[in-house]
A = this chain, B = another copy of it.
Amino acid sequence: MPLNPVSRIRRFNRAVTTETGVLDQSFLGRGRPLGAARVLNAIGPAGRAVSDIRAFLDLDTGLLSRLLRSLEDEGLIDVAEDRKDKRRRFAVLTPEGHREYEAYEALSNDRAQALLDRHPHPEQLLAAMDLIASALGRDRIEIVEMDPDSPTAFHCLESYYAELATRLSAGYDPAKAARAGSEDMRPPRGQFLVALSDGLPSGCVGLKGTDKGYAEIKRLWVAPSARGLGLAKRLMSEVENHAREMGITTLRLDTNSALPEAAGLYQRLEWSEIDRFNDDPYPDLFFEKRV
């Protein structure tokens, strides 16, 4: 008989557990227990504060202390005291530690690459993985402020434009839309927020300062793999809070009726529909909110 949904999830779990088990085995092949390998990995090329490693790997202070000592004895890391706070210690990789770190990276990367290479539709596989990783890590999505000209922000905006182009019947050409200068979405006039789900850019929103007595919300976008997790709502509430802190009292935004989920969201968040307030060719719906 066909499998029911719960069985399908458990089949997935089995497949993935087997896969990670194999990777762990290959990690053990480097002659070091998994715990030590994990610590080496957590330190990484940039080095890391010991307290940070402890929080990240959820290790007991005694256990981590000993693992660090064993890595130090192997000549893979150096642990020195932090200059600012002499209680704290900071671990960095030695050149040899760097090589060892790269070897572990290579094991993981090769396995990932092999999986990609042998799959007929790598893009489909990756999309499926993004979807699942977002679903599992929903509460671990963090929202960070970024420069609107940073590569990550740029990636979000590209994805946003690409989506508009497919969803608006008239298509979408960013060059024809009213330009929102990066300057206006950067402190002190505005803000640009990006949602990162364990490093993957999964959404964004911009707060654009104007000289017209209100600020605008621009470029709200959520990646397909992260939809339905309430991320748009989180982004909006963050940006509204920030506007409030900046002393802004009126917010406006425009959107298009071809994006019904967006309009629905604004209504749920108690935005009021208002008349057209600009002559941008793409939007046909306009909202305002007092914060």
Contact = CB atoms under 8 A, between A and B. Distances in A.
Secondary structure of the A contact surface, majority rule: helix
A151 B2 CA distance: 8
A121 B135 CA distance: 10
Interface stretch (A45-53, A108-116, A245-253, A265-273): A108-116
Contacts of A120: 227-229
B1 A129 contact: no
A9 B126 contact: yes
A16 B16 contact: yes
A16 B132 contact: yes
Among A9, A11, A18, the most chain B Cβ lie within 10 Å of the Cβ of: A9
Contacts of A14: 133, 198
B8 A129 contact: yes
A199 B3 contact: yes
B136 A9 contact: no
A241 interface: no
Given A112-B9, A132-B128, A136-B15, A155 B2 contact: yes
A69 B1 CA distance: 35
12 contacts: A1-B155, A2-B155, A3-B201, A7-B199, A9-B115, A9-B129, A11-B198, A12-B133, A13-B108, A15-B137, A20-B20, A119-B228
A130 B14 CA distance: 12
